Amino acid sequence: MSNILIVKTGTTDTEIVSTHGDYEDWFLRALPVSKERISIVHAYKGEPLPNANDYSGILLTGSVLSVTDEEDWMLPLGRWAVSAADNGTAVLAVCFGHQLIGEVLGGKVVENERGIEVGAVNVSLSEDGLIDPLFEGLPGELDVNASHGFVVSNSPSGVRVLAGNDNTYIQAFSYGDNLRAVQFHPEMTTGTMKRLLEVRGYQGRSSDSNHGAKILQNWVNHWVGQK
C-alpha cells in the first residue's frame, strides 16, 4: 500500500514541464520519502478518486486552473479531501488545493485585488502558526516561493489562520487535526521558480531557503509518518 497519494489538479506550462517536470514531479523530488511510497491520481482528467482510507497522507497540488472555473470535478474533490481529513487521513493542500479546500469550508475564492504574487515572498506566522507542527523548527518569518493570482478572501468557519502577508491574508490555515493548507509552494525549488518567472515573463526573485523543504518534512514526520 502506498503511504501518500498526490492528487494532481492540473498541468503547468509545457516549457516548464520540459525542463523541470510537472506539479507531481516537484513533490516527488521534494518529499522526504521514497517514490515507492507515493501514488498519483489525475483528478483534473476525471480519474476516479480512490478510497482515502488506503493512504496515510493525501496531497493536493497547485494548478494553472482556478477554483472560479467551477469545473465539475473540483468541489467533489474538495469535499472528498475534507472528508478524508475528518476520518483521520492527513491532508496537505497547496496553492490551488489550498483555495479549493477554503471554498469547500465556506470561504470565497476571488481574484486578488492586491495583484498577483509570484517569486520568493515573505510570509509571517500567526500565533497559531508559531505553535503548529507544520512549522516546527522554522522562524516566524518564512521565505518561500509562490505563484498565484487568486486568494481565499475570508477565513472559513472552523479554521485557524496560520500565516499571512500584506498581499495574501490567508497564506496558510488548519482545519481540525489532520488538514493543513498553504497558498505558497513548499515543493518549488529555486531552479523551478526561476524557470517559471522566465517562461511567464514575471519579475521577481526565487527563494533558496530551506523553509519549504522543512514544511514538507514536518508534514511527513508529524502526520504521515505516524500512520
What is the set of active-site residues? 95, 185, 187
Q: What is the rounded radius of gyration, in angstroms, for the C-alpha atoms of the chain?
A: 16
> b/e for 62-73, b at 16 or more Cβ within 10 A?
bbeebbeeeeee
Question: Could you report how far apart the first and last alpha carbons of the chain are, in Å?
Answer: 12
Nearest-angstrom CA–CA distance, 123 and 193: 17
Nearest-angstrom CA–CA distance, 188 and 153: 24
Nearest-angstrom CA–CA distance, 20 and 191: 8
> Exposed/middle/buried for 180, CB within 10 Å: 0-12, 13-18, 19+?
buried
